[in-house]
């Protein structure tokens, strides 16, 4: 199996331009993976939604309250 090398690149509207210098030989075989760019606001919304869902799971209404009596080893750094 031949080694695979990942190189950053971009499409300028006409050609694929490597962002890193790399010597290609004629007839080298290439695999192109296109990473569709999303607006930062869409990505931030997705992260916010995911975070809120996970927080709701972790701290939902059915989460029990733990009393200090169940603490086996107190954290000496707490509330300093």
Take residue 22 and report the two structure tokens written for it: 């790399």
Q: How far are the Cα atoms of 4, 17, 41, 62 from residue 8, in angstroms, in the given order?
A: 13, 9, 23, 47
Tell whether pTM > 0.85.
no
User: How much is the pLDDT for 1?
Assistant: 59
Residue 63 has pLDDT above 80, yes or no: no
- Report the pLDDT value the prediction gives residue 80, as an integer from 0 to 100: 60
| Top-confidence residue, 36 or 17 | 17
């Amino acid at each position: 199996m031949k080694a695979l090398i990942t190189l950053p690149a971009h499409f300028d509207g006409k050609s694929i331009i490597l962002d890193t210098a790399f010597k290609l030989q004629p007839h080298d075989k290439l695999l192109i993976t296109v990473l569709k760019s999303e607006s930062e606001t869409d990505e931030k919304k997705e992260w916010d939604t995911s975070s809120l869902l996970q927080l709701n799971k972790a701290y939902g209404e059915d989460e029990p309250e733990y009393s200090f009596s169940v603490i086996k080893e107190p954290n000496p750094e707490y509330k300093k």
